[in-house]
Amino acid sequence: MICRESHRRSRVSVDVERASAHRGMAAARLPAASAHPPAQGLSANIRLAPPDVVPDGLGTYDGVILGWGAYSHVVGRPARVELLRALAAHLRPGGPLLFSFQTRPGHPAAQRSFQWIRATARAVRAIRRSGAPLELGDTLPAYFAHRFTQPEIEADAAAAGLAVDDFRELEYGAALARVAMRVS
């Protein structure tokens, strides 16, 4: 997550840990990551955070970027919606939240393959007696990833109080959202 603080040339970057096994590698990268922004004339506050958690103590920012498809690696819709809500809480009024994710085609043939993946995963979880929920679009290539359709992204954003201004589906999907205007 990279944020630019309002009215200052500064940036906060939060390196998200994917798994505890990567904690040491991520921690080892902190000195190099912290040195780069000052070389570009920016200040930086780089820290580790678990996936799907926005650290305490962040300020208000002109915009927030949740990049590299990180949104796809958050397990479960409730956690993803809460992450969007927590990020939006740090935006100045009208500030954009840009997030990227892996996509899946919306046509029926593609949905059938994801339905097969979900049915197989449910069977494996039943054998293992795992109660973790599964969603259409969840995959396990070498790590957990959820692949989204445009209506799912728009529904997640709306549940977090955001409105999607733009949706793009290239190699990765990307959405630009802002806090939804309340009608009184």
pLDDT score recorded for residue 56: 85
Domains contained in the chain, number = 1
List the domain range (segments joined by +) for residue 93: 2-179
Q: Is 160 exposed, middle or buried (0-12, 13-18, 19+ CB in 10 A)?
A: buried
Q: What is the CATH number of the domain that holds 50?
A: 3.40.50.150
- At residue 131, what are phi and psi to the nearest 5 degrees? -95, 5
Residue 171 within a domain: yes
pTM confidence score: 0.75
- Is residue 184 a part of any domain in this protein? no
pLDDT tens track of the chain, all 184 residues?
Answer: 444 444 444 444 454 444 444 455 667 777 777 787 777 887 777 777 777 889 888 889 899 999 888 899 898 999 999 999 999 999 999 999 999 999 988 777 777 887 888 788 788 778 878 777 788 888 776 678 899 999 999 999 999 999 999 999 887 899 999 998 755 5
168 inside domain: yes
